[in-house]
Structure 1
Amino acid sequence: MAPAPQSEIATLMEQAAARYQAGDLAGAAETYGAVLKRQPDRVEAWFNLATLLQSFGQPEAAVRGYDQTLALRPEHADAWLNRGVALKSLGQAEAALASYDRAVALRPDYPLAYNNRGNLLKQMGRADAARADYDRAIALQPAYASAYSNRGALKADLGDYAAGLVDYERALACDPSHAETWFNRGNALWELGRAEEALVSYERAAALRPGYVDAHLNRGGVLKELRRSEAAIECFDTVLTIAPGFAEARFNKALCRLQLGQWDQAWQDYESRWGTALMRGWTRPFPQPHWQGEDLAGRTILLHAEQGLGDTLQFCRYVPLVAARGGRVVLEVQPGLRPLLAGLTGVAWMVERGEDLPPFDLHCPLLSLPRLFATNPATIPPLPPGLAVPSERLAAWRARLGPATRPRIGLAWRGSPVHQNDRHRSLTLAQIGPLRGVGAELISVQKDLRAEDAATLPAWPGLRHFGPELDDFADTAALCTLCDLVIAVDTSVAHLAATLGRPTWILLPARNTDWRWLLDRADSPWYPAATLYRQQRGEPWPAVVGRVAADLENFLSRSPA
């Protein structure tokens, strides 16, 4: 077949370009295909067709098109760059990196290539190399809004929100219409405790991109923190209008209503937790049906723990109610809790997570039980009978502590470092310094010490820390039982002490206060023995601890010597 006349090829290329400009992308792709049938070595046609295929969400076909382009013109830097983008979308990080490397080798002054390579390196966990690429992109193009924004996100991911905010401001000075930068700026401001400014930033992001569900979601989160609960619920409803199946919005709406005490309206939405990023890993795909509250006569039900140890302690109170429905209850708990819960009323069989399960007919996670029993703040079941410290553990720790000559105060100032709110709820040993001089015997009920606290411990000669001697939660429970009072941050130890009926003072953070403590109350309907100390917005933790220390002096003055 004779090659097509160049005038025909030129006409087709012009037609393809015109269709592209008119928004007829499919027509443009079809025309480039017609060019390549007539002239298979037309580099521009291969490159433009590959770019269109990439925009159609066909990265594999796009890579083939870029490979054809590069076979004809190996020095085509744009093709190497776009090929890298397509490979990244296919999850082929190393191949994408090699493609970006080739692009910048061919064109060392290519800011877009440095920016894109920085994004890939950030995704690969190579923060220093990513930072260097963003710096290079900005040096080449000082008004490069995207590079500033990406560098800010890198800094924020590393915990330097203030430095990230500086870059977001620079990005917006270059391009104030970039919705994602406004969103990231809002995140940084929120982390820095500047909630009102964060709210404005999220509102700007949502105005620029009305369907921006994450901006509406985080705006709702800030409004919730600012106690503008009804406005927060409206935000979550907006998200659900845009994306009806978005579990994060439904879950946050539930948390808002739970915190307000509107539990009748909240429990059904709380079931959406299983679709959130936080809880997906906890889903148990049992073939047996999920129990919906029906009679259990003649059947076995598995009740399984979810989330943390404190959640299991708080919600195991429902076990006797389930058993009263006539079935046989199998209770699965986290490792370490079995010695403490072994005598729980209503349990026919107890297993630790990871052990083989006996046969069962139905199942239900513990935190779904309040919905099934229509719980509201006035109908919370009492603490469960049968929960007690094993007598041998109690005797061993009584001997280990020796005779009490002063009131004993248990202290727990940190929770698990992997908890999503640990940065706000946990304290350092130095931050609870106002408690050091009280006239009491101080008992650490922390199992593990972080390095910072281990370095501070020598300055607390009166604090008895047992650490590795705490084999499981039954040991911690024994220590709490032998204390006259336990002071704890919002962690499993607080639930443990309060469940055991010990006087428990719980320090609650201003940020992301858990729904179960409701709003403003100094008491808890879940735990008669608990007193709540709430950090106010902007209040440093030592000020909260100072209030606790003052009340502790009064407590000790009323305690027998």
Structure 2
Amino acid sequence: MSAWTKLQGKSTTYSVTLVKHIIGGIQTPASTTRNPQESARWIAVGRAAANDGRHDQALACFKRAVEQDPDSAPAHFQLAREHYRRNNLPLAQAAFERAVALRPDYPQALNGLAVVMQLKGEWVTSEVLFRRAIEASPDFGAAMSSLGNTLFHLGRLAEAEQMFHSALGIDMNLREAHQGLGLLLHCEQRMDEAEQVCRGAVERWPNTADLRLNLGLLLLARDKYEEGWACYEARHASSMSAEVRRQALPGGTPWAGQALDGKSLHIVAEQGFGDMIQIVRYVPLLRRMGVSRLTLECAAPLRPLLQGMEGIDELVKAAPAQFDYWCYTMSVPRLMRTDISNIPATLPYLSAPAHRAEFAKALLGPRPAGVLRVGLVWKGMAANRHDAFRSLAALSSLSSLWSVPGVQFVSLQKGAGEEEAKSPPAGQALLDAGTSLRDFADTAAVIHELDLVITVDTAVAHLAAALGKPVWLLLARRGLDWRWGIGRNDSPWYPGVMRLFRQEQIGNWQGVIDEVRAALDALAAQGEAQPQ
């Protein structure tokens, strides 16, 4: 029996052994004539190499398969999969497209191309391709699950839910369908159903970090903090890990709740600026536990704001040379055994540096008599994976607020949207402070001079509330952060100063803005800022 014949046998282990002998054939010149049989053999070798984790050789094999038969849809499909595995989306897309062009009813190639379109944000195209894949293979559960995710993203929740159920009706072991259904039910705030699905998924796949994280976020949103914090620790092993941590971990001993009396503690930054602003409230509690020295890893934009905070010994870019324990920023609440009844929420716990006061006064100019000064932020950080849901499309989305008399609007916008503040739409007079803000200390000084801040879910919401300033927070239905809970219009993290305005439907900001305009009209009529 020839090696080629053996490779196409049923024994995967035997095939992997043979590939190590045959792979040397890649070095031989390819035939200049079309040879479908030879192409099929190279596909077999490539698949065996890929199964053995020899992906460089697999890629070479699939390229040889395409050379031997440029009209082989399977050869292009396997090549596309290998490019996709390497996250080379342009080459993957080109190879998937060629496979589909050669065989328009090739379900696996249609599905692969649709997944690439998802990653590129071309959701409508991905829907068309997934539907073609399902039409070609009506029992293609994985394609149904992926189509459910596309429909979910497009805001067509009823269709998405039906598609997830259809996928699970074919194969209950489709992990992505369980995950997608749990997220959808959470988004619809059908919390009992969502929790049941998420728990079931964790029971099936207890070692899958994304599933544990999803359950943790849901439990935290339901104020079930003890179990929620424990599951939330899965973020470090999940697909969220790149957002959670961008630098090397420090050495030393992780703090796991040991006594801190006389010990030094280093807090490691993770996630965004708002998370750090929220968590520094724990500094006084940590000092009362006997921490002898507290260092805090801190990004440059936050450093001028936090450097004068009592209880922090040093703000650093990286871990100090010596310390007893370290912990992540967002692990502090778990280690402090925080639940909904004991959140440390004494406000304000931050203040604007005194030496920035003159900067803010000069930037804003004299206050018009009898006028409310209201800060605005309409976009968050574009790098946040939920930003497309949380941010408004443009400053013009807030245009109805300008119908309220007796209000001066001040832009606190940084990054995306900042250019809009320089040239606001007609009829939306706006004092552009954002362009002049150098860091969060500047922002805090300006907020100190305002009566109210209206913002989407971004760091400014945490900053304003931590300063004790009334803040109205505009919340998207999808991408809703756990800390804002479900249904309530206030926040136990920022009691008395924060008011929550929630979307009723995914993507529908108009109802939220109408509610804000009515509240602002009532506030302006009172002549003073009251958050509730």
> Shorter-chain TM-score: which interval?
0.7 to 0.9
Query: Per the alignment, in what secondary structure is the counterpart of residue 330 of structure 1?
Result: strand
* RMSD (Å) for aligned C-alpha atoms: 3.0
Match of residue 365 from structure 2: 402
Please give the alpha-carbon distance, in whole angstroms, between the structure 1 residues aligned to 2:14 and 2:169. 27
1:376 shift after superposition: 1.9
Aligned partners of 2:422 and 2:72: how far apart in 1?
49
Q: 1:293 aligns with which of 257, 266, 282?
A: 257
Pick from 85, 106, 109 the counterpart of residue 144 of structure 1.
Answer: 106
Q: Is structure 2 residue 164 aligned with structure 1 residue 202?
A: yes
Q: Using the TM superposition, name which of 262-271 and 274-283 deviates more.
A: 274-283
Alignment of 1:433 with 2:395, yes or no, is: no
In terms of mean alpha carbon deviation, does 142-151 or 452-461 score higher? 452-461
Aligned-pair CA distance for 1:187: 0.9
Other-structure match for 1:16: none
**CA deviation after TM superposition for structure 1 residue 332, in Å:** 2.4
Count matched residues. Answer: 516
**Cα distance change on mapping 1:60 and 1:197 into 2, 3 Å:** farther
What residue is the counterpart of 1:366 in the other structure?
Answer: 329
1:232-247 matches, cutoff 5 A = 232-247=194-209
Amino acid at match of 1:557: A
Q: Does the alignment pair 1:318 with 2:282?
A: yes
Q: 1:116 to 1:450 in 2, by over 3 A?
A: farther
Aligned pair partner of 2:448 in 457, 481, 484: 481
Query: In the alignment, is the contact (CA less than 8 A) between 2:185 and 2:191 conserved in 1?
Result: yes
Cα pair 2:347 2:494 within 8 Å, conserved: no
Matched, 1:520 2:487: yes
Normalising by structure 1, report the TM-score: 0.84
Amino acid at match of 2:514: G
Change (3 A) 1:456 1:468: closer
> Structure 2 vs 1, CA of residues 445 and 65 (structure 1 numbering), >3 Å: closer, same or farther?
same
Supply the distance in 1 between the matched residues of 2:342 and 2:14 (Cα, whole angstroms): 53
Aligned 8 A contact 1:50 1:66 in 2: no
1:98 CA displacement: 5.6
Which structure has the larger Rg over C-alpha atoms? 1
Separation in 1, partners of 2:18, 2:336 = 55
1:41 corresponds in structure 2 to: none
Deviations 1:520-558 (A, max 9, x none): 111111112101000112462133212212211211121
Q: Kindly provide the CA deviation profile for residues 1-20 of structure 1, in whole angstroms up to 9, marking residues without a partner as x.
A: xxxxxxxxxxxxxxxxxxxx
Indicate the structure whose relative CO is greater, using CA pairs within 8 Å and at least 6 residues apart: 2
Does the residue aligned with 1:457 lie in a helix, a strand or coil? Answer: coil
Percent of counterpart pairs with the same letter? 32
**2:305 is the counterpart of 1:343:** no
Q: Compute the TM-score of the two structures, normalised by the length of structure 2.
A: 0.88
Q: Report if aligned partners of 1:304, 1:331 keep a CA contact under 8 Å in 2.
A: yes
Q: Which runs of 5+ in 1 are unaligned?
A: 1-34, 36-44
Given the alignment, which residue of 93, 101, 124 partners 1:162? Answer: 124
Q: 1:101 to 1:327 in 2, by over 3 A?
A: closer
**Preserved CA contact (<8 Å) 2:363 2:433:** no
User: Match of 2:518?
Assistant: 550
**Residue 330 of structure 1: how far off its partner (Å):** 2.1
1:193 and 1:388 mapped to 2: Cα distance? 40
Deviation at 1:124, TM superposition (A): 6.0
Q: State the 1:141 CA deviation.
A: 2.4
Letter in 1 for 2:181: R
Contact 1:50 1:65 (8 Å CA) reproduced:
no
1:68 Cα deviation after fit: 4.4
Q: Residue 250 of structure 1 contacts residue 270 of structure 1 at CA under 8 Å; is this kept in 2?
A: yes
Give the counterpart letter for 2:106 in structure 1: Y
**Aligned mates of 2:71, 2:170 — CA distance in 1:** 32
Deviations 1:414-448 (A, max 9, x none): 11111111110011222222224443221111122
Q: Which runs of 5+ in 2 are unaligned?
A: none
Which runs of structure 2 are paired with 1:387-536 in the superposition (5 Å)?
387-405=350-368, 406-427=371-392, 428-439=394-405, 440-450=407-417, 453=420, 457=424, 459=426, 462-528=429-495, 529-536=497-504
Aligned to 1:38: none
1:164 CA drift (Å): 0.9
Distance 1:199 1:105 in 2: 43
Post-superposition CA distance 1:476-535 (Å, at most 9, x none): 111211111100000001111111111100000000211111111111111121010001
Which whole-Å CA distance do the structure 1 matches of 2:162 and 2:95 have between them?
Answer: 31
Give the whole-Å Cα distance in 2 for the aligned partners of 1:82 and 1:54. Answer: 12
CA contact (8 A) 1:155 1:161 kept: yes
Verify the 8 A CA contact 1:317 1:384 in the aligned structure 2: no
- Note the alpha carbon deviations across 1:82-130, whole angstroms, 9 max, x for none: 4455666788878756644443343233111222333445556665665
Q: Deviations over 1:112-171 (max 9, x none)?
A: 122233344555666566545444433432321112212222222221212211111111
Equivalent pair of 2:375/2:452 in contact (CA under 8 Å):
yes
